[in-house]
């Protein structure tokens, strides 16, 4: 018998005489911590079954994190859904010319500070700020906003804006990326979320997000941020017009930058949702493809510590399944404060989960719920915690948690 279930599953794969030599080679590389090549990544997308990639990804996940599954307590502020850009997949933005549309909003700084204050009595650790791009939300506006959040609640981690906004506001303010990112850090921004990455390859980016920052600019801004000693996330919008080779190219560029800086914390694959946008004619990926994609990301990105499934986007059930396919993080107890996905047709129309619900969702698939802060410092292990409301469900929750 082998030491752990996940190694046993890998050994079982190797005992299969039918296993093609190229896949056997990948199993052996993963078992000996050897990175797989872009060609091998492509082979996984083109030929490997869900069960195969799932076994490898779960092996890596359990070796790194055991059953630990991370979440945090956060809330979102989306300053506006008006945007100067016109990404074809975006269901959320309203072009500036539609500013009188009843579904358009534009918060003032005071209104956004009121949102921050409305969480004063709650134990949230992070505010995630991202939205549309508008000229009036310029560099000075955001610097002041960050300073005011910090002066109101110094311990609240600000995870704010993507290279899409930074490229635009730095250009307008006529400052270099280096100078701009230094000012942003000084004003109180703590980390960058992973948005705006979409698909880096110009062949696809030109068709879906032609007018915003390029893949190269996205990567450069994260690199500068990492060189300031700061951390960030990375996303990939998949399941639209890209081909597998574009996904591999995207992950390869992230892997190379991570080798240089080590500044990425988490990779978040974002499933394209087709409701009410200019790409509505494109069918969405199936849950099997979504799980295969998480698993291949876990195998490919050997220098990323975490793979996150963003539950408001894929729904609670697929998020639970993803925990067996390489995912070790399911984001936060967001509080119905994001519109990005509900407007794109995601399962969760009013995404809100209490800490109790999130912890129980994780326990119900035999994993350990761990509340973390943005930088993955552990705040509380909920494995043995029984919430008062759960007394009646004890039997159901008593699943094998190691």
Q: Which does 322 bind (CB under 5 to 8 A by kind): ligand V47, ligand SF4, none?
A: none
DSSP code of residue 357: H
CA distance 81 to 95: 8
Reduced to 3 states (helix: H, G, I; strand: E, B; else coil), residue 174 is coil
Residues in 196-225 at the binding interface with ligand SF4, rule: CB under 6 A? 212
Classify 315 as helix, strand or coil. Answer: coil
270 phi and psi angles, rounded to 5 deg: -115, 115
* Residue list 303-322, contact with ligand V47 (CB under 6 A): 310
Q: What count of other Cβ atoms lies within 10 Å of the Cβ of residue 274?
A: 18
Q: Which of 131, 188, 194, 369 binds ligand V47 (CB under 6 A)?
A: 194
List CB contacts of 5: < 8 A, sequence separation 6 or more.
62
The answer to whether 257 and 264 have CB atoms below 8 angstroms apart is yes
Between residues 71 and 310, which has the closer beta carbon with respect to ligand V47? Answer: 310
Length of the chain: 402
Q: With contacts defined by CB under 6 A, how many residues of the chain interact with ligand V47?
A: 22
Q: Which of 276, 267, 317 is nearest to 295 (CA)?
A: 267
Q: Tell me the C-alpha distance between 83 and 73, whole Å.
A: 28
Q: Which of residues 81-140 bind ligand V47 (CB under 6 A)?
A: 89-92, 130
The interface partner of residue 370, options being ligand SF4, ligand V47, none and the CB cut-off 5 to 8 Å by kind, is: none
Binding positions for ligand V47, 215-244, rule CB under 6 A: 233, 235, 237
**Residue from the set 23, 36, 164, 204 that interacts with ligand SF4 by CB under 6 A:** 164
User: Closest distance between ligand V47 and the C-beta of residue 400, in Å?
Assistant: 30
Q: What is the token pair recorded at 118?
A: 């409305």
Q: For ligand SF4, which stretch binds (CB under 6 A), given 24-32, 83-91, 97-105, 291-299?
A: 83-91
Cβ closest to ligand V47, residue 10 vs residue 270: 270
Q: What is the DSSP string of 116-175?
A: HHTTTTS---EEEE-----TTS-HHHHHHHHHHHHHH-TTSEEEE--HHHHHHHHHHHT-
Q: What is the spatial distance between Cα 131 and Cα 77, in angstroms, rounded to a whole number? A: 8
Please identify, among the stretches 105-113, 172-180, 189-197, 384-392, the one whose residues bind ligand V47 according to the rule CB under 6 A: 189-197
**Among ligand V47, ligand SF4, none, residue 93 binds (CB under 5-8 Å by kind):** ligand SF4
Angle, to 10 degrees, between the axis of helix 244-261 and the axis of helix 215-227?
Answer: 20
| Residue 265 binds to ligand V47 (criterion: CB under 6 A) | no
Secondary structure (3-state) at 247 = helix
Considering Cα of 386, then 388, then 391, then 393, what sign does the dihedral take?
negative
CA angle 20, 22, 301 (to 5 degrees): 130
> Which two three-digit tokens encode residue 265?
């914390």
Place of tokens 């072009």: 95
Q: Does 195 sit near ligand V47 (CB under 6 A)?
A: yes
Site for ligand SF4 (CB under 6 A): how many residues? Answer: 11
Q: Is 90 in the site for ligand SF4 (CB under 6 A)?
A: yes
Looking at beta carbons, which residue is closest to ligand V47? 195
235 binds, among ligand V47, ligand SF4, none (CB under 5 to 8 A by kind): ligand V47
Handedness of CA 57, 63, 67, 68 (dihedral sign): negative
Residue 91 touches which member of ligand V47, ligand SF4, none, C-beta under 5-8 Å by kind: ligand V47
Q: Which of 133, 139, 254, 268 binds ligand V47 (CB under 6 A)?
A: 268
Q: How far is the CB of 86 from ligand SF4 (least distance, A)?
A: 6
291 contact, one of ligand V47, ligand SF4, none, CB 5-8 Å limit per kind = none
Touching ligand V47, residues 334-373 (CB under 6 A): 340, 344
53 binds ligand V47 (CB under 6 A): no
What is the contact surface with ligand SF4 in residues (CB under 6 A)?
83, 85-87, 90, 92-93, 132-133, 164, 212
């Amino acid at each position: 018998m082998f030491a752990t279930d996940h190694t046993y599953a890998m050994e079982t794969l190797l005992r299969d005489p039918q296993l093609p030599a190229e896949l056997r080679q990948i199993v052996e590389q993963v078992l000996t911590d050897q990175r797989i090549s872009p060609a091998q990544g492509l082979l996984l997308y083109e030929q490997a079954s869900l069960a195969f990639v799932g076994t490898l990804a779960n092996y890596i996940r359990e070796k790194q994190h055991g059953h630990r599954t991370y979440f945090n307590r956060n809330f979102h502020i989306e300053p506006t859904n008006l945007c100067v850009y016109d990404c074809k997949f975006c269901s959320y933005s309203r072009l500036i010319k539609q500013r009188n549309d009843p579904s358009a909003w534009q918060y003032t700084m005071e209104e956004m500070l009121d949102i921050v204050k409305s969480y004063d009595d709650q134990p949230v650790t992070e505010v995630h700020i991202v939205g549309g791009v508008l000229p009036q939300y310029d560099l000075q506006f955001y610097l002041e906003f960050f300073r005011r959040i910090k002066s109101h609640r110094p311990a609240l981690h600000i995870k704010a804006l993507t290279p899409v906004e930074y490229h635009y506001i730095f250009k307008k303010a006529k400052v270099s990326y280096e100078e701009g990112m230094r000012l942003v850090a000084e004003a109180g921004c703590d980390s960058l979320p992973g948005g705006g990455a979409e698909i880096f390859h110009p062949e696809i980016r030109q068709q879906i997000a032609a007018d915003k920052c390029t893949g190269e600019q996205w990567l450069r801004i994260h690199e500068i941020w990492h060189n300031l000693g700061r951390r960030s996330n990375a996303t990939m919008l998949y399941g639209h017009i890209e081909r597998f080779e574009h996904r591999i190219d995207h992950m390869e560029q992230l892997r190379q930058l991570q080798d240089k800086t080590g500044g990425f914390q988490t990779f978040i694959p974002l499933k394209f949702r087709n409701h009410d946008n200019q790409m509505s004619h494109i069918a969405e990926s199936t849950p099997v493809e979504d799980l295969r994609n998480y698993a291949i990301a876990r195998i490919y990105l050997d220098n990323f510590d975490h793979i996150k499934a963003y539950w408001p986007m894929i729904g609670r059930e697929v998020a639970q399944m993803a925990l067996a396919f390489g995912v070790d993080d399911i984001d936060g107890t967001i509080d119905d404060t994001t519109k990005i996905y509900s407007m794109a047709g995601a399962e969760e129309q009013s995404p809100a989960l209490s800490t109790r619900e999130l912890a129980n969702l994780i326990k119900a698939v035999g994993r350990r719920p761990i509340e973390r802060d943005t930088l993955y410092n552990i705040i509380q292990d909920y494995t043995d915690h029984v919430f008062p409301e759960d007394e009646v469900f004890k039997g159901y929750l008593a699943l094998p948690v190691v």
